[in-house]
Structure 1
Amino acid sequence: MTEPLFLAPVFHEKIWGGRKLETEFGYQIPDGKIGELWAISAHPNGPSTIENGPLAGKTLTQAWADDQDYFGHQKSKVFPLLTKILDANASLSVQVHPDDAYAAAHEAPGELGKTECWYVISAEPGSYLIYGHHAKTREELADMIHSGDWDHLLRKVPVKTGDFVYVPSGTIHALNKGIMVLETQQSSDTTYRLYDYDRTDAQGNKRELHLQQSIDTTTVPSVDPKLDIQTEQKDDATITTFVQAPISPFFSVERIQLNGKLHQTPKAPYTLVSVLKGNGEFTADGKSFPIKKGTHFLIPNQIKAWDFSGDMEIITSEPGKEA
């Protein structure tokens, strides 16, 4: 019998981080401003460790390299997805991410581009995102960046708890203060900063900006993706599909709102699971595993059917054909 792969989170301190990962989720986090929890990761800057079963003690990176039976024998050299929780106690830098081609040409070998998305776990009243820009040409974009004309360049979009935001590579964006999200993304840690509010760290140093890379990689003019969000009732669950192919070639993302029991079969070689509310059980091949708020795990290729039971809100994601 193959078990789900339960994963230990990796925490990252950020200048904009806070303590909600401890107070809201009960994680034992390090001291300091903890902005990111890398929940399901095989990226070299923070690989998750498998906590159970035959692969216990291995990182997800090692499992991807050595144990492809668990992933359906994929061709990608790297595990292609990364799941995080972000706690924006202050605003993140205004930034943009490259696509695969630009990352391959300009970043470390094996680094992917970065298309990502956010499910808003919580947002304080009045919260907003930076999402997109008003420049009509790349020349206008460059002029507005170099002159610091942020009020005219950047678009502000209101956001509330339960919203979903898809952020393709090339999109100028930023989470702002008071927002917590679950992020599903390509496995990349490449960020190009346009603007960081001129803030400094504890040593009085400003963070590095990447103006030319930002100008090179930003989509001009700004384009909003047209999502086809779909909701269905199945068993005792409401399932909302936020994004999938062809809109998103790298991943699909669903929310499961469960009060009772849900039977599922896979639509991809493996499935990533994050429990955001409540508690219950995951059952496969006659064996049950307790799961609760803050649990993250991967359903491997060998599991061909499973049941969720309990009272929970769950986000699942699966790799797309381009992953």
Structure 2
Amino acid sequence: MNQPLFLEPIFQERIWGGTTLRDQFGYEIPSNHTGECWAISAHPNGPSIVKSGEYKGYTLIELWNQHPELFGNPSSKVFPLLIKILDANDDLSVQVHPNDEYAYVHENGELGKTECWYIIDCKEDAELIFGHNAQTKEEFISKIEKGEWDELLRRIPVKPGDFFYVPSGTIHALCEGTLVLETQQSSDTTYRVYDYDRTDQSGEKRELHLEKAIEVTTVPNQNAELHVEKTEIPGADITTYVQADYFTVYKWDIKGNASFKQNQPYQLASVIEGQGTLTVNGENYPLNKGDHFILPAGVDELTIEGQLRLIVSHT
């Protein structure tokens, strides 16, 4: 197939969500507490649906299972990535994710969760929690038991355009006033460590998962080193943020007319700023902020024209 697959996002309501997904992207969100846009998803908790073309109405799960040729006939049983946009209108819980081996055993065969964040926008004094200060498991447990969160957790100021790579085992939390594009393994497994003693609508505190969190957290903390590479091609600046085990993630800043050869079985793309036109096999497709699409295995070459920014990824 030599056409892009445009996808209809799925929205998830969250205690910490807001309205930024509507305000910035024009999405029809279900409520004023919409926290997550699952933009490219084949996870059973919210699979994307193809908007148009030959496979209109298919979920991404159905496509992966019934038409593996679109993805270069991969060996993986499940679509490996999940692309989200997160509106942290309030602080997210402090959490940690397991690796593949732990999740497979303890979460009914679910994948682990390594992820990364591109900060699309944030308030002026925004920050996030990224890592911890404990040197031993004993110190880690002690600070949790005593509630010494300020001493335990590392807070980092953020600005639009920042990028963070968050391997499984990393303590982390997005904080109030950040809008983030997240590229992650296709997993919905999260272990909450601390939730600011918040209560839900019925006055209940959300469940913590301390035993599992303590087991999977990397101690002492290890921040992965990023080797960001920038290259210029005619009509575009390309930033390569991470080339890791589960995904490679780029930013494409299109400034005019840029041509690309597809050297991967398939690629995932999200338009986070601007507008333009995608041309594949002589066909033109309008691109607008908030569009998400897959370039399947049949697409050998493509051209993008306009002034726009995309986050692009592949396995």
Q: In which range does the TM-score fall when normalised by the shorter chain?
A: over 0.9
Q: 2:266 maps to what in 1?
A: 270
Whether 2:87 is the aligned partner of 1:91: answer no
Q: CA deviation at 1:290?
A: 0.5
Among residues 285, 295, 299, which one is paired with 1:299 in the alignment? 295
Unaligned runs of 5+ in 2: none
What TM-score, normalized by structure 2, do the two folds share? 0.99
After superposition, the CA RMSD in angstroms is 0.8
Q: CA deviation at 1:31?
A: 1.9
Q: 2:55 maps to what in 1?
A: 55
Q: 1:201 maps to what in 2?
A: 200
Among residues 250, 254, 257, which one is paired with 2:250 in the alignment? 254
Aligned-partner Cα distance in 2 for 1:199–1:267? 47
Q: CA deviation at 1:2?
A: 2.6
Q: 2:45 maps to what in 1?
A: 45
Q: State the AA in 1 paired with 2:299.
A: I
Q: 1:26 maps to what in 2?
A: 26
What TM-score, normalized by structure 1, do the two folds share? 0.96
**Contact conserved, 2:2 with 2:297, CA < 8 A, in 1?**
no
Q: 1:132 maps to what in 2?
A: 131
Aligned-partner Cα distance in 2 for 1:24–1:224? 31
Aligned-partner Cα distance in 2 for 1:220–1:8? 40
Q: State the AA in 2 paired with 1:88.
A: A
Q: CA deviation at 1:160?
A: 0.4
Show structure 1 runs of 4+ deviating over 3 A: none
Q: 1:284 maps to what in 2?
A: 280
Unaligned runs of 5+ in 1: none
Q: CA deviation at 1:252?
A: 0.5
Q: State the AA in 2 paired with 1:228.
A: H
Q: CA deviation at 1:108?
A: 2.1
Q: Secondary structure at the match of 2:17?
A: strand
Q: 2:229 maps to what in 1?
A: 230
Aligned residues: 315
Q: What does the per-residue CA deviation read over 1:112-141, in whole Å, with 9 as the maximum and x for residues that have no partner?
A: 000000000001111111000011111111
Q: What does the per-residue CA deviation read over 1:255-280, in whole Å, with 9 as the maximum and x for residues that have no partner?
A: 01111011111232100000011111
Q: What does the per-residue CA deviation read over 1:121-173, in whole Å, with 9 as the maximum and x for residues that have no partner?
A: 00111111100001111111111112211011100111101100110000000
Query: Quick one: percent identity of the two aligned structures?
Result: 52
